[in-house]
Every structure is written in structure tokens, then in C-alpha cells.
Structure 1
Amino acid sequence: MNADVSGRLLDAVKASDELGVERSLALGADPNASLGRTHGSALAFAAGNGDLRIVRLLLKGGADIGTSDPRILSPLRHAIKGSHPAVTRLLLEQGALDREPADPDGVLADALSAVCHVPQAPALEIVRMLLAHGAHPQPGSRASLVGAVELRAAPAVARILVEAGDDPNQRRGDGTPVLVLSARRGDTAVVDQLLQAGADVDAVDAKGWTALMHAVERDEQDVVSVLLLAGADIEKANADGVTAKELAKGWQRKRIRILLGERVVGMDHAQIPRSVMGIRATGYRLAGDHGTFGRWAQVLGHAVKDLGSEEWETHTGRSVDSAIALVRRFSGEPQPVPNASWYALDVTADELSILRAALLELAYGSPGAMPVDVSRDEIIDMYEELDRRIN
């Protein structure tokens, strides 16, 4: 075949020049001309660009839909990585899946990676297509549900995989159930989907730990609630003979102990083996604009004034002087951050707990007047947002 014409074909493909591609093929250009290992064949390049019409022309001209070199991405995988569903559909209809070389990752893993790193509707559509065409993890690769959880895929991905027939009791290579992986990551929605699909709520990992035990240890309260509603066994013991209730006591998870059915809880503790390191910040850097800091100063000052010195200290365990000092800090000390559009203020964990206590009192304490232009619902939102960020 004419090398010059093939060169013009490649130039036309790179320029998305449909007419140039058509003319080059008519003049005898090689439809399998290559742009090198990185870009692959002309067909692979066009597929990666989402040029559906050029892909059709190249296929009609005799382009190879697969690749003989497993080190070079096939046209199908270029289309998947580029999140081009129309091109992917055409290649699948032409039998591209059957032409994929043996690969420990596989096209499904590529699709899961694409939908996790750039979560867009077309990428999710491609996952559906591949499953409908029978794509499965290759031997030696991660099971698809496990891979999705490890990549922190959105719950919609797990739902699609389960609907396509993935086993909700899948295990990672070390024997860890996918339910345990989801619970450890705090993926409440995925945990619920797996349970609805029939996952064993009390399945254990290699050390005999259930999803409930891991969720308790990591203070994942929402996950604990979902597992309990699914009938998780709170008396089941791990390989060390420790139950979820004992883990909650050992970690002093007061809220979780209540979820587990205890009526009276305190700061008592138990000696337990632990699988994670506890981490608690002793200081925080707050970021916001002047309006945000001013609002916090307003709310905190109102709470102190509304309760009065004695009641404030009784309810919160914090001194009035510390609270008033923090009001002054919120009002006057935030500094502009270089190369940014916000202000910052460094506070201690004790100072942040003062703000939290004020919001808690206003949100759920005795009914009283709210700060000017601030509703109780807004206070509740502020409290829950702060609580989520610091816990």
C-alpha cells in the first residue's frame, strides 16, 4: 500500500477530517496504519476521540477491530477510556469484545475505572453495555463489585453490577467480603444495596470480623444502623472472642452503644484488641469568608447570652470566659489566605467544641429565642454540618 497515502490517512484521522479519511482509503491507504504504541491504530485513535463516522469508515475499509499486541490498547478500550458510548456500542456490535487479548485487568475494569475517576452518565452507560454483552472480570483480576468498592464508585455502579448478576457475597483475594469492605469505607448506600441483594450480613473476614464490628470500630453510625436493620448479630464474636458491643465499649462509642440497645452508657471502657488506629485532631484550621465567621460569632454570643453564665457552664461544661474569647476571635482574627479567596483561623479542638456546644443547645435544647435572622432549622443545619466535619 502507498505509504504517502497512509500518512495522509493518519493526518486526516488526527484532524477528525471525515472527508480526508474517505479519500485516503479510496486511494489505497492502509486502514490499519499505526500512530505508534501510545495512540495505537488509526481505528483506536478515532475510537478514543469518539469520531463515530470515521470509525465506521475505517471498519468498512477493513480496519482490524482488535489488537495483536496486549501492550497496546484496542479500539474498544480507547473508546471506553474516552467515555464514548456510541463508538463503544458500534465496536461491541462488531464483535470487539471477542477480540480482546487475555488481560488481567479487562475491559470491564477499564469501564469501572472510567466511571469512578470521571463520573459521567456516558461512562455509566458503557458499564451497562459491557455487562449486557457478557463482559466479566478476567481470571486473576478483581471481582467487579470488589473493584467498584475499592475504587469508591458511586452507589449507582454497585446497583448496576448487582442487577447484572454480580454476587453480593463476593470476596477480595484475601477473603474479605465486599460487604465488609463497604462497611469499612462508610459506604452506607452500597452496604444497603448489597444487603437488599442478599449479602450475608454476618459474613466474616479472615480474622472473624463482621461488617458490624468494623463499622462500630470506625464509628460509622449510619452503616451500623443499616446493618442492625438487616439483622446483624450483635453477640457474634470474632477470632479474639470480642463482640461488636464490647468493641463499642472499648472505643467509648456512646452513640453506637445506644444503637446496639444499651439504655445507660457512660465513659466506662473495656480492654479490646483493635484493628485500626484511633485519630483525633487537637487543632483545626477554619476557612470561610467574613460573613461566615461573623455568623458563628453571632450564634455563639447569642447562646451565651440566652443561657446566662451559670446555665451555660452547667449545660456545656465550658467557661463563659472561653466562649466570649472565641466570639472575639471569630470577629477579629480571621486572616486572608495567600493565593486564595477565603479567610482562615486556627483554633484548638477545645475551642471548636465550644461552638459545637452552643449550636447543640440552640438546635435541641430548651426552646428559646434564636439569633436575629437565623431560624432553628438553620441552626440545626449548622450543627449537623460541623458535627459531620469534625467527627
Structure 2
Amino acid sequence: MDLQQRIDELWTDLKSGDIDAILKHFATTGSICLPKTSANSIVPFTGKFEGHQKIREFFELRDATIQTKSTNVESVYHQTSTAFLNVKTEGNCKKTGVGYKINDLHVLKFNTIHHVLEWTIYADLSELIEALKVDLPEQLLGAVTANDVNAVKQCLTMGADPNARNSTTGLTALMMAACQNQPEIVRLLLNGGADVFTTDSNTGATALHKACQGQSAEIAKLLTDAGSFIDAVTPTMGHTPIMDALWYLAPDVVKHIVSCKPNLNTKTHYGFSLWDHLEYETKVQATAEGKATMAAIKSDIEGYRDECLAKIEEQKVMAATEKGDAELVKKLIAEGTTVETVYPHVNTFSDGHTPLIVAARDNHLDIVKLLLEAGAEVDVFDWVFKGYPIHKATYNGRPDVLKTLLSSPKMNSKVINVQGQINGYTPLTDALWHGFEECANILLDHPDCKLGNVAHDGKDELAVSEQVFGKDHALTQRIRSMSTSQS
């Protein structure tokens, strides 16, 4: 069989789709290759396939992916053992039904008896790629619904948005997987960039809320490790995850959430506290098993509550600071009582605060001095407002507290210019926003004060000063001059 005859018969068998017939044209060690790139990797049959078994796999993947309508050889050139074919192909993507056109260059190398040693196909697959992607969101959601791990992997590999959302339920793929107790799929989605912070479009629940319904502590841990807010409140009912966990009788999830130190004192929008939920859900359990589950949940929650109360009782310096009792603070420090405590999350104004943050917040200058002398940390922010002690001083317009904080040997440039997580305001921005000129000038006098910090609203210090004090005010002019010199 001469080379042209081999090419003609190969193409006839290729059009027939008979893989066994196609394989007869390959040498035992032959190969076929559609070079894989980062752009075309979602096409299942890209890459190099060597040996008859792998070549069969190539054609099986190809046939499972596309339906060829026509494939025409536009030109052929060959010499000795190499052939070059220009081919035009039209077809449909089987999953989406969307059509595509491809122009290929096929380079075939043959052995002495004209069996294929190497077959390389060079093609622009962009139309096929777009055809494959048309219903990727639906494919991903369907794969999650079916708990089909391999299909989820394939969709993500093909470029599916891991945040695809079901338009009827309002749930994202991650919420669906969390609710359906699919930990492996949750891992795939998280690794693919799924957003743990978004909420469903009907009730405002997060993926962590749905994990509670799915009764999976493993998934709850995956989500909290990824940053899920442990106390996220749904805007419709006002439920936190722990409320849903007890509602759906998920004691292991409750145990995990408790280990993350949640706020137990949040109330729902209809006025129920967590304790009301415990009482109500216990009453409506008709089985002994249900009552036993609620008893276990109640035990864990009450255990954590008692732990919080014990911590509050132990925080003597905090209690004295909240009362503004400088003499007691001084006495406690002299006795060796620690000043570095963090208040538990119990729905108070001091949640997540250290004594120094509270002293700065409540304008207790003498206590601020005592705490700093005892080595209190200035590079610390509270859990509620994410504000540093220096933010508290400037927000409240206390130049005396501000000067005292700046005198701490632990003060540094990072803290002086720190941008709060809530609004991106620095201590200087806070002072400017509230019109505290003296505090602003104290900060501007400090050699570590840096300008040009843009807050979440897009305003820097100059813009805020212009808004509050006016463009011609001396403070605004000073900031404008310093901004120019620092730039």
C-alpha cells in the first residue's frame, strides 16, 4: 500500500467512526497528539496518546465530546514518510448542541510500511471551547445535584464558575454541596475559588448555614477554615449558623461551631434567643432520640456559655477598666494580674476588646497610662469595630489619650497609619472626619505619619479634610503640602 492509498483509507475509516479500523493504520508504538495548552485544556482529547490503547482512548473521548457533521481534506502534500493535510471540520458539541468549525493542519509521519508513527493535529479550538462552555453553570449545578465528583472536577477544569447559582433556589453550587453533605465536592469548589461569604438570594443564608442543615461537621470545618463568619445573620429570619445547627438536630456541627467561639446571645428578627430555640426545639421532639440529641446540644452550648462567664469573671483588669476604676487597675497590676485579656463574644460593647482598647474608647486617660506602663500591646484591634486603641483616641477627639499612646515604646509606623477593616480609615482619617483638628495635627507632627491612604470610599486624607474643614483651611493646606512633599 503506497502512502496516498494509506491516507485515503485512513480518512475513509476516520469518517466511518470505526475505531478498530482506524487503529489498523497505526504502528504498534504509534501516537496521536492534539497539543494541550492552558487555553484548550478543557477539551478532553487534548494531549499526546501513545500506543493502541491510548489512541483508542483519544477517539473515544473525541466521540463522546463532539459529533462531526463533515470533515473535508482541502489539500494534501506528502514526501517520503511525512504527509501534511489541511482539513476543515464542522460539528456539534454533544453536551450543549452548539456548533463549531475548525481548520486543522494534520502532520502524519509513517514507517516503511506506511503505518502511522506520529499523528499531530494543529488547530484553533476556540469555537469548540466556546461550544463546550455554553451551559457550564448548568452542568456544574447538575453535577453537584447528582453528587457526581468526577463531573464536578471536569466542569471546574473546563472553566466553570465555582459560584454558579441555581436561579430557582438561590443557592450557589457551594451551598448545594454543603447542604447535601458532599465534603469532597465542597473541597473541590473551595479549591476552585468558591465564595464562602456570599448568601443565597432568597433568605440570605451562607454556605455555613446550609452545612448546618446538611448536618456535616466536616463541611462546617472546611467552611470555617476558609473564613466563613461564625455569627453570620440571615437578613430574613436573623438566624446564625448555630441556631440552624440545633434546629436541624446536628450535634456534631454544634460542637464544631462552639469550638469556634460564637456569640450565643444574638436574637432572631422575630425575637427568639438561642435559649428560646433550645427550649422550643426540645419541646417539639416527639422521639426519645430527638430529645436525647437536643439534650446533647444543650449541654455543649451551656458548657460554652459557662466558659464565657468564667472568662469574664477572671478578667479583673477589664472589669475595673470598664468601671473607670484607675486605683483598682493599679492594684491589680501591682499584684501581677495580666493586662492582655480579650473579652469573649457575648453581645456586649466590649466583645473582642482588650483593656487598653476599652480604656482608650472610654476616655480613661489614667488607665491608659497604667496599662501602657504595664506593657499593654498597642498593635491590637477589637473584634467588633476592628479598631485599634489609637483609632479610639482619634475617633473620640482625645489628644491627651492620643499623645499617651504615641509615647508607648511599642508604637510603630504600621499602627500609626493602620487602616481599619470596616471603612479603611486611618487614625488620622478618623480625626479629620469627626473634625478633631488638634488630634489631626498631633498625628501630622509625628515623623512616622504617612499620607495617601485611600479608604473604602475612595477618599484619602486630603479629600476628607477638604470635605470637613474646607479647601482653604490651614489644616487642609498643611495636608496638601505634606502630600506633595511625600509623593
TM-score, normalization: structure 2?
0.36
Bigger fraction of residues in strand: 2
Larger Rg: 2
Bigger fraction of residues in helix: 1
